[in-house]
Amino acid sequence: MAPVKLFVYDLSKGMARAFSSFTGRQIDGIWHTSVVVHGKEWYFGPGIINEIPGQTILGPPLRIIYMGETEVTEEIIHQHIKDMRVNFTPEKYHLLDNNCNNFSNLFCEFLTGRNIPDYITNLPADFLSTPMGRHFRPMLEIMFGPSRHP
């Protein structure tokens, strides 16, 4: 059995919390997540990448969440990642619909049967439901294409 950990980073470095009063809703961070298993930190950026845990360009994580244990071997993980690469390419990245948190959620589900916390996966919908989010939506959709979020 190998532990599975979710590394959580705030890309805004605290700015989201400081400026959330402008959105009309408390937003504590702009979350980036990765999954650590078998001594590797896996994340979706310019494709699916693995690095030494805590040694990514983002530095140490803000929070580490224990997701459980897995019996999945490194060999099976590599095959699964190979299969996931079809849907997690730079061209298929979408800020709201196909991002690092979507990758982490699917990967954790595969490894442990558990989803990552809702406050992370719900962030795009939460932001889009604010007046500021509704204002920025057209620009985001020009940049990334239409979103599946209502």
Whether 149 is covered by a domain: the verdict is no
- Decide if 148 is inside a domain: no
Is residue 150 included in any domain, yes or no? Answer: no
Number of domains present in the structure of the chain:
1
- Which residues span the domain enclosing 31? 2-143
Mean pLDDT of 19-39: 86
Q: Which amino acid is it at 127? A: F
pLDDT by residue (tens digit) across 35-86? 999 999 999 988 999 999 999 999 999 999 999 999 999 999 999 999 999 9
For the segment 85-106, the average pLDDT, to the nearest whole number, is 94
Question: What is the SS3 assignment for the chain?
Answer: CEEEEEEEEECCCCHHHHHHHHCCCCCCCCEEEEEEECCEEEEEECEEEEECCCCCCCCCCCEEEEEEEECCCHHHHHHHHHHHCCCCCHHHCECCCECHHHHHHHHHHHHHCCCCCHHHHCHHHHHHCCHHHHHHHHHHHHHHCCCCCC
Residue scoring higher pLDDT (96 or 41): 41
pLDDT band at 150 (very low <50, low <70, confident <90, very high): low
- If pLDDT is split at 50, 70 and 90, which confidence band does 131 have? confident
Q: What is the model's pLDDT at position 59?
A: 92
Please choose, from the candidates 2, 47, 36, 51, the residue with its C-alpha nearest in 3D space to the C-alpha of residue 107. Answer: 36
Distances (CA, A) of 110 to 16, 42, 96, 102: 30, 13, 22, 12
Q: Which residue has the higher pLDDT, 54 or 147?
A: 54
Of the pLDDT bands very low, low, confident and very high (cuts 50, 70, 90), residue 148 is: confident
Is the predicted pLDDT of residue 15 greater than 70, yes or no? yes
Catalytic residue list:
32, 100
Burial class (CB in 10 A: 0-12, 13-18, 19+), 17: middle
Domain-located, residue 71: yes
Task: Name the pLDDT band for 149 (thresholds 50, 70, 90).
Answer: low
Q: What pLDDT is recorded for position 62?
A: 96
Query: What CATH number did the domain enclosing 91 receive?
Result: 3.90.1720.30
